[in-house]
Amino acid sequence: MKVVILAGGFGTRISEESTIRPKPLVEIGGKPILWHIMKIYSHYGFDDFIICLGYKGYMIKDYFYHLDIRESDVTFDYTNGTSIIQHKRNVEPWKVTLVDTGANTMTGGRIKRIQPFIGDDKQFMFTYGDGLSNININELINFHNKSGRIATVTGVKPTGRFGKVILDGDLVKSFKEKEIENGEWINGGFFVANKEIFNYINGDSTILEKEPLINLSIDRQLGMYRHNGFWQPMDTLKEKMDLESTWNAGNAPWKIWKD
């Protein structure tokens, strides 16, 4: 199953970093947060990624273009022309497709744009390029498959400024942005969707969290997988610094993989 990562936003709430590079390339412990997200999926055997590019997308292309050399021990031999000898490769066995989905395209529009790259697959996963979790991806997929619904969103319970989800059992009844009180479930990303989700997205101006998710909930086709473990976005510089200090202390909850 392919994993789609939304990595094209402007990252305005963390402008201290995003004026220099796209938010998915902001580093936690010397690695882009995008790499951390991919490692979560890779831990469960999902290594085929589609990255939705937008703002400063060329920098993400450059990152992956040079990744093999950057992560390897290498000899550059210029004695007879130029030859490159790699002695030790530390690159993950990933397939990464980088798709320019437009600088101003909304979240739903970005998903719509990568439809041709899903191919004949009946399902795919997608998430935001700025959120970390210790979610069990296999349990998420099993939950989605048992539900028989078009889409599943992962619900989490942080405090603060996120979009409220009203539930009937594990069925989403309604989806309201920016109306939350402490203790309520919110959209934590980490979606699983059947290809029918594309029918709910009109084009570039479609915001995923509005008409598509609202209409899926009206049609009783949006379920919620409840995740009670760690989840943390990186929207602000403070959140970036908190994640960095947690990683440097050696107790990052989202590090579910072994070195």
CATH number at residue 8: 3.90.550.10
The residue type found at 83 is S
Q: Is residue 23 part of a domain?
A: yes
The type of residue at 165 is V
Does residue 257 lie in a domain region? Answer: no
- Give the tens place of pLDDT for each residue, 192-233: 999 999 999 999 999 999 999 999 999 999 999 999 999 999
**Rounded distance, CA 222 to CA 226, Å?**
13
Does the residue 253 lie in any domain? no
Please indicate, yes or no, if residue 259 is contained in any of the structural domains: no
Phi, psi at 149, each rounded to 5°: -95, 165
60 within 8 A of 5, measured Cβ to Cβ: no
Residue 92 counted as domain residue: yes
Q: In total, how many domains does the chain have?
A: 1
pLDDT, tens only, 182-193: 568 899 999 999
What would the two tokens of residue 81 be?
């022309």
Determine the length of the chain.
259
Q: Is 148 left (phi over 0), alpha (psi -120 to 50) or beta?
A: left
Name the residue range of residue 26's domain.
2-248
Phi, psi (rounded to 5 degrees) for 128: -85, 150
Residue 130 one-letter amino acid? D
Helices (H) and strands (E) in the chain, counts: 9, 16
168 confidence band (pLDDT: 50, 70, 90): confident
Q: Does a structural domain hold residue 78?
A: yes
DSSP one-letter code for 173? E
255 located within any domain = no
Has this prediction a pTM greater than 0.85? yes
CA-CA-CA-CA torsion sign (141, 193, 63, 66):
positive
| 14 found inside a domain | yes
